[in-house]
Structure 1
Amino acid sequence: MQTLAPVFEAIERAAHRIHEAITNEDTDYSAHSNQSGDVQLKLDIQSDLIIAEEFSRIPLVKAIASEEKEEEEILHEGGQLCIAYDPLDGSSLIDVDLSVGSIFGIYDGEWSAQKMIASVYVVYGPRTEMVTAYKNNVRHYTWRHGRFKELEQIKIGEKGKLNAPGGTQQHWPSHHKQLIDGLFAEGYRLRYSGGMVPDLHQILLKGGGLFSYPGTTDKPDGKLRKLFEVFPFAFVYEMAGGAAVDEKGNRLLELPCSDPHETTPCFFGSTYEIGKVKAAYGAE
């Protein structure tokens, strides 16, 4: 495998351009919907175009797949990497000025969790930050003076204190509600913005906890997409010393994926909280 430096550099350039767009462009909705049926902001479309343009300059990148595209796009037939990305996760939060992010899963030759070799996410908040998971290291960067500067390596604690439960509560299964209520009874604090990137970032940096998006009566297969969101964060959490599973207790990184927009229930956290998930779901 060649070095991934050109890919990381392309992500850095894209992140800077997206940050500028978020700061300076309008936040109106477009007249279009994406493959998942979500009405797209103009910033969703612009962010997608920015990232595709940056990757188009990297011969190593064979194909890209985006939450905003129906199908994969071949960039370089002789390339090696397949990169799936969510260009602007949580974009509906922009109009209330909450943090949003971009997520990247980097796959070696095919769209399979077993072929993931790196993942990256970017947080656009009070500061623009980036986290990379590559070669068994999870590294944290912040944007300063025109470039990303490394701050630290990230390791998640064995037990945390934050609880970020997704999905509409009235549609939760009863055992999931008992799980969430039980964590609150242990003293866990609610931290849920509706943005996957800032919520999972906070759990990582604050020592641990649980982010959950279960299967619900209205979305039995969950809401979050495997290639663009679930697999990349599972890769980060496992490399940081945590765990990531589905409702059956299976590692998310062992799940098959037959469609770029396929979803799954998912749970990310410290080993203690994931143990609680497995017990609640009868998957011990």
Structure 2
Amino acid sequence: MLTIFDTIKDIAIKIDHEIKTEDLGYSDSSNTSGEEQLKLDVKSDYIVEQAFKDVSIVKALVSEEKDGVLELHADGKYTVCYDPLDGSSLADVNLSVGSIFGIYEGELTGENLVASAYVVYGPRIELVLATKEGRPKHYRAQDGLFNFISEITLKDKGNINAPGGTQQHWAEYHKRYVDALFKDGYRLRYSGGMVPDLHQILLKGGGIFSYPGTTDRPKGKLRQLFEVLPFAFIFEQAGGHAINEQGIRLLDLVPAHPHDTTPCFFGTTYEMVALKALYRMKI
């Protein structure tokens, strides 16, 4: 596992360099969802793929940017599912973006997620690693090396509200929930990037990130294997919660396809209790 984490650290330094120096325009290709790919998306995906080709414990790679599974080492133990550059469209306006990695052993389900990681590319490069042992660990890069900062532990209640999705497509009960948070003094913190928004909630000690099913995207927008499940793992290891719109634990989901999406909610205990009550979820 340490080999995989060391590889992610190397990947982070290389992708950060590309963000700061390379063309931010669109490529001539589209991803599996039919979205135009930025040149940074393509380059970042290539960097990840090349880095893991020499890691013998990695059996296969599954990328948010490509369809199917890339087989690497028949004797490998782990499959790495990743989003090479989440929020890449924010790079040209100089907002923070990130990379997300889920490490699975066996079938690609939440139950078989054994570790996860994400990188934030902002004024500084920051990395969070999580395994089943202990709290997630927060690192910051300096001179190409990642220095340990602290373990991450969420409080029971936060004050950050990061609501995703276009408001005109929200269900009425979801709007009531978001409005209630603001009336309770919560601060709006939503950049349009999953990685920086969830990173802020984790480091500030709590709050809620919501991306519900909407009228235009009833199954949600965020992809389970590359985005949702890795963050669900990190939130639970930090003492938080991660559920879907039915109150089902996200890590209990079994994706039918590598690019399946789901509504998702990440937060601390207080916000999740209120969410379940308003949605009348049966846990």
CA distance in 2, matches of 1:58, 1:95: 32
CA distance in 2, matches of 1:213, 1:139: 25
Equivalent runs, 1:86-125 vs 2, <5 Å = 86-125=83-122
Pair 1:136-2:134 in alignment: yes
Secondary structure of 1:137's match?
Answer: coil
By how many angstroms is 1:236 displaced?
Answer: 0.3
CA distance in 1, matches of 2:274, 2:249: 15
Pair 1:29-2:12 in alignment: no
CA distance in 2, matches of 1:252, 1:163: 20
By how many angstroms is 1:36 displaced?
Answer: 1.4
Alignment gaps of 5+ in structure 1: none
Cα displacement string for residues 138-197 of structure 1 (whole angstroms, at most 9, x for unaligned residues): 000000122100000000110000000000000000000000000000000000000000
Cα displacement string for residues 82-105 of structure 1 (whole angstroms, at most 9, x for unaligned residues): 110000000000010000000000
By how many angstroms is 1:109 displaced?
Answer: 2.2
CA contact (8 A) 2:154 2:268 kept: yes
Pair 1:73-2:34 in alignment: no
CA contact (8 A) 2:30 2:36 kept: yes
CA distance in 1, matches of 2:206, 2:53: 37
Secondary structure of 2:128's match?
Answer: strand
Q: 1:165 aligns with which of 163, 166, 191?
A: 163
By how many angstroms is 1:45 displaced?
Answer: 0.4
By how many angstroms is 1:32 displaced?
Answer: 1.0
Cα displacement string for residues 178-222 of structure 1 (whole angstroms, at most 9, x for unaligned residues): 000000000000000000000000001111000000000000000
Identity of aligned residues (%): 57
Q: 1:232 aligns with which of 210, 230, 233?
A: 230
- Give the CA RMSD over aligned residues: 0.7
CA distance in 1, matches of 2:277, 2:193: 27
Runs of 4+ in 1 over 6 A off after TM superposition: none
TM-score normalised to the size of structure 2?
0.98
Q: 2:38 aligns with which of 38, 41, 45?
A: 41
The one-letter code sitting in structure 1 at the alignment partner of 2:209 is: F
CA distance in 1, matches of 2:181, 2:236: 21
By how many angstroms is 1:276 displaced?
Answer: 1.4
Pair 1:215-2:213 in alignment: yes
TM-score normalised to the size of structure 1?
0.98
Alignment gaps of 5+ in structure 2: none
Cα displacement string for residues 96-131 of structure 1 (whole angstroms, at most 9, x for unaligned residues): 000000000000122111001000000000000000
CA distance in 1, matches of 2:274, 2:210: 12
